[in-house]
Amino acid sequence: MASAREEILNRIRDARVPAAEPVVRGYHETGTGGVELFAERVADYRAVVHTVTDVPAALERLRGKRIVVPADVPPEWLVDGVTWLHEPLTIEELDGSDGVLTGCAVAIADTGTIVLDGGEAQGRRALTLLPDYHLCVVRADQIAASVPEALRRLEPTRPLTFISGPSATSDIELNRVEGVHGPRTLEVLVVQPQ
C-alpha cells in the first residue's frame, strides 16, 4: 500500500490543475509613512507612544520597577533606580516581573506594527510574552513604510513576532477589547535622531 505521502501527492498530480497565470503585483510595494504615521497608528491600538530623542531619560518611567531585559541591550538603557532582571530567567520569574524592555528588528508605519526577530536587544520570545507590560524602543530608521517593505528587511527563518498594540480580542460580540493573555500594556518609545 502506498504511503499517505505518496497517495496524496499522486492524487494532486491526477487532478491535473492547469498552470496559473503569472502573479501581477499591482499593489503598492512601498509607502510614504514614517515616524509620524507609525506613532499615530500604534496609538490607534490604544498603545502608549512617546517620540523621544534621549532613551535613558525616557526610561525614568521604569523607576522602582522590576524589569526584564535581554542580555544584549545597550548598556546606557540600564539606568539607575530600576531592578533589572537578566537572563537566565525561569518562566515563573518572567511571569512575576513588572515588565520587559526591548528593542525591535523592524516596525511598520502603515499598520503600526513592531516586529521582533530575537536579534539584538530583543531576547527570546517568552521575554516579551509573560510580563504584563512591554516597553519597546523603536529607532526611526527601523520603521518601514509598508508591509511589503518590512518583510523584505526580515529574515524569515528567525522566530518572528509581529506586535500591533496590546493583547486584544474581538470574541465578544465582535468588538475589540484590549487585554487578554499577552502584555496588557504596550508602550513604545520612538527614537528620533538628535
Partner 1 sequence: MARNPVTWLGSPTFPKAAHTALADTQLRQNLRKATGTIRGRRAAAVGEMTDWEQLRVAGEQIKNDVLARLDTLLVQLEESVTARGGVVHWARDAEEANRIVLDLCREEGANEVVKVKSMATAEIGLNEALEAGGVHAIETDLAELIVQLGDDRPSHILVPAIHRNRSEIREIFQRRMGVEVSDEPADLAEAARVYLREKFLTTKVAISGANFAVADTGSIVVLESEGNGRMCLTLPDTLITVMGIEKLVPTWQDLEVFLQLLPRSSTAERMNPYTSVWTGVTEGDGPQRFHLVLIDNGRTATLEDSVGRQALRCIRCSACLNVCPVYERTGGQSYGSVYPGPIGAILTPQLVGDMHDPQAASLPYASSLCGACFEVCPVRIDIPSVLTHLRAEAVEAKGLTAESVAMAAAAWVFREASRYEKAQKAGSLARFLARDGRITSLPWPGSKWTSSRDVPAPPSESFRAWWRKNRG
Query: Phi/psi class of residue 143: alpha, beta or left (left: φ > 0; alpha: ψ in -120 to 50)?
Result: beta
Span of 58-66, 74-82, 98-106, 180-188 interacting with partner 1 by CB under 8 A? 180-188
Find the binder of partner 1 among 183, 188, 189, 190 (CB under 8 A): 183
As a whole number of angstroms, the distance between CA 192 and CA 119 comes to 21
Handedness of CA 17, 18, 23, 24 (dihedral sign): negative
Find the binder of partner 1 among 43, 48, 140, 151 (CB under 8 A): 151
Find the binder of partner 1 among 38, 39, 41, 99 (CB under 8 A): 41
As a whole number of angstroms, the distance between CA 123 and CA 103 comes to 9
- 103 and 69 in contact (C-beta within 8 Å)? no
Which residue in 138, 77, 133 sits closest to 112, CA to CA? 138
Contacts of 34 (CB under 8 A, 6+ apart): 109, 140, 143, 145
Find the binder of partner 1 among 93, 98, 120, 178 (CB under 8 A): 178
Span of 61-69, 70-78, 99-107, 122-130 interacting with partner 1 by CB under 8 A? 122-130
Examine residue 54 and tell whether it contacts partner 1 (CB under 8 A): no
Instruction: Give ∠ CA 141-150-25 in degrees, rounded to 5.
Output: 135
**CB 137 to partner 1: min, Å:** 19
Query: Among residue numbers 83 through 112, which ones bind partner 1 (CB under 8 A)?
Result: 91-92, 95, 108, 110-112
Examine residue 163 and tell whether it contacts partner 1 (CB under 8 A): yes
Find the binder of partner 1 among 32, 56, 158, 192 (CB under 8 A): 158
Examine residue 75 and tell whether it contacts partner 1 (CB under 8 A): no
Query: Among residue numbers 2 through 31, which ones bind partner 1 (CB under 8 A)?
Result: 3-5, 7-9, 11-15, 17-29
Find the binder of partner 1 among 64, 75, 80, 172 (CB under 8 A): 172
- Burial of 5-25, coded b for 16+ CB within 10 Å and e otherwise, reads eeeeeeeeeeeeeeeeeeeee
